[in-house]
Amino acid sequence: EFEFDIDPNSTKARKLNLELWDHDSLSDDDQIGYYDLRLKDYINVKKSEQLNFIGVGKHERKQVGLLDYEVEVRSKAEVDKQKAYQANVMKQREIEAENLKKLQADQKKLEQQQEKERKEEEARLAKQKKEEEARLAKERKEEEARLAKQKEIEAANLKKQQLQQEKEKKEEEARLAKQKKEQEEQQKKEEIENAKRLKRRQIEDMQLKQQQQIPEEIDDIGTDVKNVYVKIIGVQNVAAMDSNGKSDPYVKILFDGKQMGRTKKVANTLNAEYNE
């Protein structure tokens, strides 16, 4: 996640610039596309949206990647106030946790003492009982041994039958579960693909409409210092830039011509996940 402060009084810039790049380890990186966001649209509201990067170079004006992102523009004073409050809450929780830890330690110490006394009493009674039982044990031993041996034989035979039945049951359940899972996964894949196609069409229609209707202007976002929050979730359907049909995409965040942040690069893919 990226955060930075801007002062509307010191710049005329009112847009956040996002750029999609392809990493190249042997030469300069290549820009794939760009998109500009109006800060006015994100004042005091966090939006999770998607956009299509507009291609440059050999992909001029084409859609070169579908970006998932979050943006919010907040008053810096409110952000600082919220952070201070959260810090106080964390400190109070630490104090409460320490007090609880001390109370638990005292309780444990008491329980250990009680446990020690209980075991000593149990040991005394066990010794007394053992001496009494020793006299009867010798008489029962031979009879118990005979019965135990017979019981072991019967139990072993029964166990063998049960294991065989259980094995057959599990194999059948596994076969049915695998068959059901494969059917559910296939159905889920189809539903996801249909949903993605519908969502992409909706986004493309909405962006085209916005580009046609919104005139070029300097948006009024107020005069107080703003804090801009940006989260780059991931990008899909990136235009291929390399000979292997893949790209090494990463995203730059710019404001007023300056780079404010950059995601990691993901190698050899057309669908990258960042969560930054």
Residue 38 in any domain: the answer is yes
CA neighbor of 23 nearest in space, from 239, 203, 248: 248
Decide: helix, strand or coil at residue 250: strand
Mean pLDDT, the chain, rounded, equals 90
Residue 244 in any domain: the answer is yes
Residue 51 in any domain: the answer is yes
pLDDT value of position 207: 75
**What range defines the domain where residue 67 resides?**
2-75+226-273
- pLDDT of residue 214 exceeding 80, the answer is no
Q: Is 239 exposed, middle or buried (0-12, 13-18, 19+ CB in 10 A)?
A: buried
Residue 67 in any domain: the answer is yes
Residue 157 — φ and ψ, nearest 5°?
-65, -45
- pLDDT of residue 254 exceeding 70, the answer is yes
- The CA-atom distances, in angstroms, between 105 and each of 7, 100, 215, 255 are 52, 9, 68, 54
Residue 254 in any domain: the answer is yes
For the stretch 149-183, pLDDT in tens is 999 899 999 998 899 999 999 999 998 999 888 88
Residue 204 in any domain: the answer is no
- The CA-atom distances, in angstroms, between 33 and each of 20, 30, 108, 162, 178 are 5, 9, 62, 65, 43
Pairing of strands 249-255, 258-262: antiparallel
- pLDDT of residue 51 exceeding 70, the answer is yes
Q: What is the DSSP letter of 56?
A: -
The Cα 64–Cα 19 span in angstroms is: 11
Kindly report the pTM of this predicted structure.
0.54
The residues that bridge with 122 in the sheet, in sequence order, are none
| Tally of domains within the chain | 1
Residue 185 in any domain: the answer is no
Decide: helix, strand or coil at residue 53: strand
Write the CATH number for 32: 2.60.40
pLDDT value of position 267: 94
| Residues contacting 37, CB < 8 A, separation 6+ | 15, 16, 17, 18, 51, 71
For the stretch 5-43, pLDDT in tens is 999 999 999 999 999 999 998 899 999 999 999 999 999
Residue 26 in any domain: the answer is yes
